Chain A
Amino acid sequence: MNATPEVTFEPTPGSTADGTAGDTPEATPASDDPAVSDQVIAATQAALAGEHACVYGYGVVGAYLSDDAQTAAREDLAAHESQRDLLRGYLSALDAVPEAASPAYALPFTVDDAASARAFAGELEDRLAAVYLDLVASGPGLDLRRMAADALVASALRRRRWTGEVSAFPGLDEREGAPGG
């Protein structure tokens, strides 16, 4: 896989909208402070970028798996697509333009067999957990916080299924200063 850019979960400045979701959830932050809105939008865009990367990444993962594992990868891909669309809906509700996916992503390591595909799925979920943790902390809007916390739980469950490992602090362990970060 020689595509660029790297699988990164940072927002992609300057990108354009690539569609909006049918859902229009209540995502308005409880504060009128524009700095709060900016931070909520930035964290939501980062989560969307993470879901874009996962949608791309699980396509790669599934290509190296077969049978039940491939079915599981398809199910996880569908879950990430659904979550991507949900985040687009939140951003639209916040009057923000959802950022687009990159055409392709560079992988953090070579994925060329089932074992490396599983490890890559675990890596995707590790990175995704960290951006959802930021979203939990991004503002006082409880609907958004609950959605992000639920997504963090779902990510930890997928990670366990792909790697057999359970982190003591999903989303935090991946940070600089913490083990594995």
Chain B
Amino acid sequence: MNDRLTPPRRRILAALAGVPLLSLTLTGCTGTPPGKRTLRGAGEEADARVRWHAARTEQNLLVLHAATIARHSELEDAVEPFSSHHRQHVDALVGDGPLPLLARLDVIGSADTGGDVLGRLERLDAELPEVPDDPGQALTAVRAAELAASEAHLTDCLEASSPRLAALLASVAAAEAAHDAGLGAR
């Protein structure tokens, strides 16, 4: 697997900055009375939820990848390059804008911090997902999760009010559909 596309977060954010943006109907909140939510505020809050949902989807994929590799080390070569993508997706999503108030990303691995997802899970006393004993079935489960994540991101893409977030989600959805196909080709 060619992993030349391992961008630092700032490079992806720079690329996203080139996406045409429309903020035509959203207004600022200067002078808004306390307690009255502005259109922009409502959109940002909704986008924060969309971003959070997408980041959690990526987190769940990272956990499944880590559990699968821990159970079937022979699948590491197939799965780990895509784990790297998911860490980049997490970074891009978190770097795209605010998350909901009080939201925390306890478990997430990132391109910056590396991939010790299992270690973090252990410290949090969190449960690992079940992985089938048969490596073929385990790979099938990863493929199904990638495809489900792709479809979830497409749904999120339609809910995003920020064009930039919508573009990022569409791109992540495309990557994960290709992950499914890539794993199926092995």
Q: Which residues of A contact B (CB under 8 A)?
A: 31, 33, 35-36, 39, 43, 129, 132-134, 136-140, 142, 145-146, 148-150, 152-153, 155-157, 159-161, 164-173, 175-181
Residues of A within 8 A of B179 (CB): 166
- By the criterion of a CB under 8 Å from any partner CB, how many residues of chain B are at the interface? 48
> What is the CB-to-nearest-CB distance from B165 to chain A, in angstroms, rounded to a whole number?
9
Residues of B within 8 A of A160 (CB): 178, 181-182, 185
Known: A166-B85, A169-B172, A179-B4. A149 touches B178 (CB 8 A): no
Residues of B within 8 A of A136 (CB): 157, 163, 166-167, 170
- Give bound CA distance, A33 to B26, whole Å: 12
B21 within 8 A of A: yes
B18 touches A177 (CB 8 A): yes
- Give bound CA distance, A33 to B97, whole Å: 26
Contact among B1, B5, B17, B81 for A169, CB-based, below 8 A: B5
> What is the CB-to-nearest-CB distance from A128 to chain B, in angstroms, rounded to a whole number?
11
Q: Determine the residue in chain B with the shortest Cβ distance to A174.
A: B15
A156 touches B174 (CB 8 A): yes
Residues of A within 8 A of B85 (CB): 166, 168
Cβ < 8 Å to A, chain B residues 1-27: 1-2, 4-7, 11-12, 14-22, 24-25
B84 touches A168 (CB 8 A): yes
Query: Can you sample 8 A-B contacts with CB below 8 Å?
Result: A136-B163, A137-B21, A140-B22, A149-B154, A152-B171, A167-B178, A168-B175, A178-B14
Residues of B within 8 A of A137 (CB): 19-22, 163-164, 166-167
Q: Which residues of B contact A (CB under 8 A)?
A: 1-2, 4-7, 11-12, 14-22, 24-25, 81-82, 84-85, 88-89, 92, 150, 154, 157-158, 161, 163-164, 166-168, 170-175, 177-179, 181-182, 185
A178 touches B7 (CB 8 A): yes
Residues of A within 8 A of B150 (CB): 153
- Give bound CA distance, A2 to B12, whole Å: 35
- Give bound CA distance, A164 to B174, whole Å: 15
- Give bound CA distance, A138 to B19, whole Å: 9
Residues of A within 8 A of B11 (CB): 177-179
- Give bound CA distance, A152 to B150, whole Å: 12
A31 touches B25 (CB 8 A): yes
A168 touches B89 (CB 8 A): yes
- Give bound CA distance, A115 to B39, whole Å: 52
B154 touches A153 (CB 8 A): yes
Residues of B within 8 A of A152 (CB): 170-171, 173-174
Residues of A within 8 A of B81 (CB): 166
- Give bound CA distance, A43 to B161, whole Å: 18
Known: A146-B158, A166-B178. A133 touches B1 (CB 8 A): no
Known: A145-B166, A152-B171, A173-B15. A168 touches B7 (CB 8 A): yes
